[in-house]
Amino acid sequence: MAVISQAISCADGHVLRGHLWEAMSSEQEAADAVVVIAGATGVKASYYHRYAAFLSENGFTVITFDYRGIGESRGSTIKNLGASWYDWGMKDLDAIFGWALLHCGEKKLNVVGHSFGGFGVGLASNGRRINHLLTVGAQHAYWRDYRPGHRLGLWWRWHALMPALAWWHGYFPGKRLGWLEDLPQGVAMDWARGRKDFTAGRAGPLREQIQAHQASFTAPTLAVAATDDPFATEVAVARALGYYPNSPATTVRLKPQDFDRTEIGHFSLFHSSFRHTFWPGTLRWLHDGVNPWP
């Protein structure tokens, strides 16, 4: 399996680090699409490498990457970096999509987006060039949409403690706490201050630009989430899809018992223990746009 390190420049000059996974198949058997994996907030791209290898083994060219301030794109320091969720979507994802289309020949662009990564794809201007989108647990962390029974604890951690620590340190020291990776202050604040209307987090021409990008997003979307996901509840997923009125979307709720599990939650579907259950189903959507869980 050929895995090639890449340095991808954004329009503002920031350089992202990622990997290109070449398809492990003959030219005749290779899929006609490249898959970009857009990860969750505070999760390194390396968490998705097992799934990327699986896609590569099944004929896809795959791109994984770290957002600015995270993992291999962290740089020497993230204190007062000035990165936001909006930067991750409008600059980072836009650059990754553009690079994929430029360097992967005539292949179509498909995206697998986890959590914010599944929502943020529509912030990118190049999002309009996506062929198919698969989202897993995608939403934008509006706290009132969190799962009942978890809401208070999640609010306290992510909407009270996180912004206080991010303000004090100039970044969110998530790794030290054992929660997630460290986050740029702006990303932590966007999460903590998440509104019912995501676009209301910015004003004037920038908000209009965000809304224009979302309106131009037309890719068919398969929005998957586990029924026990505390973040991606039915209302949270529906709210996220509502920003993309021109994308034909199908929602799937996966029950843990369907996979002989007692729980799935927000992260487990990308674990290798789902290699023979959930992962093969994603191939049908990425290859043919067919929902394997009707």
- 260-280 per-position pLDDT tens digit: 999 999 999 999 999 999 999
Can you say how many angstroms the Cα of residue 9 is from the centroid of all Cα atoms in its chain?
19
Query: What integer is the mean pLDDT of 157-167?
Result: 98
Question: What share of the chain in percent tops pLDDT 90?
Answer: 94
Q: What is the pLDDT of residues 239-259, one digit of tens each?
A: 999 999 999 999 999 999 999
Q: What is the pLDDT of residue 80?
A: 86
* Distances, alpha carbon 275 to alpha carbons 134, 180, 195, 209, 238, in Å: 17, 24, 35, 39, 27
Instruction: Return contacts of 272-279, CB within 8 angstroms, 24+ apart.
Output: 272/50, 275/50, 275/54, 278/254, 279/51, 279/54
Q: What is the pLDDT of residues 20-71, one digit of tens each?
A: 999 987 654 668 999 999 999 999 999 999 999 999 999 999 999 999 999 9
Can you say how many angstroms the Cα of residue 54 is from the centroid of all Cα atoms in its chain?
18
Hey, what are 128's tokens? 């309009």
Q: What is the pLDDT of residues 220-230, one digit of tens each?
A: 999 999 999 99
Q: What is the pLDDT of residue 28?
A: 47
Hey, what are 264's tokens? 């799935």
| C-alpha–C-alpha distance, residues 147 and 129, integer Å | 33
Domains with residue ranges and CATH for the chain: 3-288 (3.40.50.1820)
Query: What integer is the mean pLDDT of 106-112?
Result: 96
**Residue 105: which pLDDT band, with cuts at 50, 70 and 90?**
confident
| C-alpha–C-alpha distance, residues 231 and 202, integer Å | 23
| C-alpha–C-alpha distance, residues 118 and 133, integer Å | 8
What is the chain's mean pLDDT, rounded? 96
